[in-house]
Amino acid sequence: MKVLVADKISPKGVEFLRKQAGFEVVEAYGSSPAKILELVKDVEAIAVRSETKITREVFAAAPKLKVVGRAGVGVDNVDVEAATERGVVVMNTPSGNTIATAELTFTHILCGARPVPQAAASMKAGQWDRKSFSGVELFRKTLGIIGLGRIGGEVAKRAQAFGMRVLAYDPYLAPSRAKAIQVESVSLDDLFAQSDYITVHMPLTEDTQYMVDEAAFDKMKKGVRIYNCARGGIIKETALIAALKAGKVAAAGLDVFEDEPLAKESELRQLPNVVLTPHLGASTAEAQESVGVEIAEQIADVLKGGIIKNAVNMPSIDAAALKVLGPYLDLGAKLGTLVQQIAPQQIASLKVTYWGRAADVDVNSVTRAIERGFLRRISGEEINFVNAPVMLQRLGIHAEVVKSNAESDYAELIVVEAASADGKTFSANGTLIGRNAQPRIVGINGREVEVEASGKLLVLENVDQPGMVGTIGTLLGKDGVNIADMSLSRLTPGGTAYMVVRVDTEPSEAARKEIKSNPAIKMAKFVQL
């Protein structure tokens, strides 16, 4: 078997593939896209970091390809959809850079407190200027961590060792988890208002983009210090520059940027109280060796018929089982992401119940698909079928699986329920319909509905009164939004009704506001499956 190592990984990883696994290894670092297309014609596996792009054209040119391994977390350079269509496993190494990134973050925090880079530059310029480089102590200061996942948790440990008070904002973090790691769980506004230092450790999603913007800086203390070693775009760079110039922000440390590489003319390069590094989060010898060896071992497992680990596009099962499970995995993932979007941000438990034929399949794999679907918009690209249960545990969410023998109206049914700490439950029911086993949503929050489990949904709870369908249809039509199909449900006449509208395009913000402002609308959620 032949493995193409397209980007430079740890020599130990290459040695493992060549000597221990016995593969033919082609090292082709820095190859052009045209050269890559030529090299992949007879390879079974490709190992990359972030440089080489594995596009749809690459998959089309590689008929033998079984697996693409990314030595690192992000898979932005791999067309995962094209890989899935061709049955190619895409894997990453989500935990290999945890310590490296946490330590770099804390290095930036220390450099913001004590201007060591600036003082070092002054010394090398032949100066002896002690007055210009006075610093502050971390001891008894407050560090605010936005996002308390793997890396955020490691940063919290280091801050506590320095005698810092640690606040954390993570809307999905259960209070019990915060208490266990001895941090104070607070609202985002409270974190902004109380923190002397702020660091972000969230994935870049629609919800987190520009989370730290002009309005956020207005809420912060004068002299706050802020850091980003997570993803560019969480902190709005123009707002940060303005805050630095105005003296609102005393210092900043950035390892990631909205556009990379950072433009030579970027104003960030000119500000004396900013320490910049060129995306070095995982750039330690230990981290690179770890992810290089890890991805080599994972590739060998796949090619030799072993366990699929850290797959971002399929669970740890063989091809034959996947053919049977595929529709259930698709349905489960969509039910998970639907429930996450209709439930509050913080939940205490996630329960999955299987009825009929659905209880006879590999429910472990389907449950992981549900959990991954639920976490997809929370944890971003690092979530996969392997680490989804661990991520739920870290958020303090209790997971439960039940196989029911009770009668059901459906030959197979999956129900996903998220419960908040106060006992409120938010749920979605799904089944497979027809010869092609098409996934359908047949219940939301205890109401019977029926709608195709795909695309974009507008989920509405409204007063059961005449004209509501027309009102919503007219409003969406005015907004240029086409309705694909619609399902209506009510418990009793004149009470409240549910309306689930599948649309071709996302309603505008103005249209959503108009819907929510209608006094007859009790709840309105836009859901993307």
Residues that are catalytic: 231, 260, 279
Strands across the sheet containing 425-433: 398-404, 349-356, 412-419, 425-433, 438-444, 447-452
CA 364 to chain centre: 22
Cβ atoms of 207 and 231 closer than 8 Å: no
Which whole-number Å values give the CA distances from 461 to 157, 160, 354, in the listed order?
A: 44, 46, 26
E strand or H helix that includes residue 238: helix 237-246
- Are 169 and 151 in contact, with CB atoms under 8 Å apart? no
Burial 217-243 (b: 16+ CB within 10 A, else e): beebbeebbbbbbbbbbbbbbebbbeb
Residue with tokens 């991805």: 295
Which residues 6+ apart lie within 8 Å of 475 measured at CB? Answer: 511, 514, 515
What is the maximum span of the chain, computed from C-alpha positions, in angstroms?
84
> What is the torsion angle, in degrees rounded to the nearest 10, for the CA atoms of residue 276, residue 281, residue 285 and residue 286?
150
Nearest alpha-carbon partner for 118 in 103, 136, 105, 135: 135
261 preceded by cis ω (within 30°)?
Answer: yes
Partners of 78 in beta bridges: 54
**CB 394, CB 321: distance < 8 Å:** no
Q: Which two tokens stand for residue 236?
A: 């709005």
Dump the DSSP string for 328-393: HHHHHHHHHHHHHHHS-S--SEEEEEEEEGGGGS-HHHHHHHHHHHHHHHHHGGG--TTTHHHHHH
Angle at 75 between CA 70 and CA 77, to 5 degrees: 95
Instruction: Give the tokens for residue 9.
Output: 């990984």
Q: Which residues contact 468 (CB under 8 A, 6 or more apart)?
A: 462, 497, 499, 520
On whether the CB atoms of residues 446 and 498 are closer than 8 A, the answer is no
Q: How far is the CA of 240 from the CAs of 5, 212, 321, in angstroms?
A: 39, 8, 50
Amino acid identity for residue 432 in this structure: L
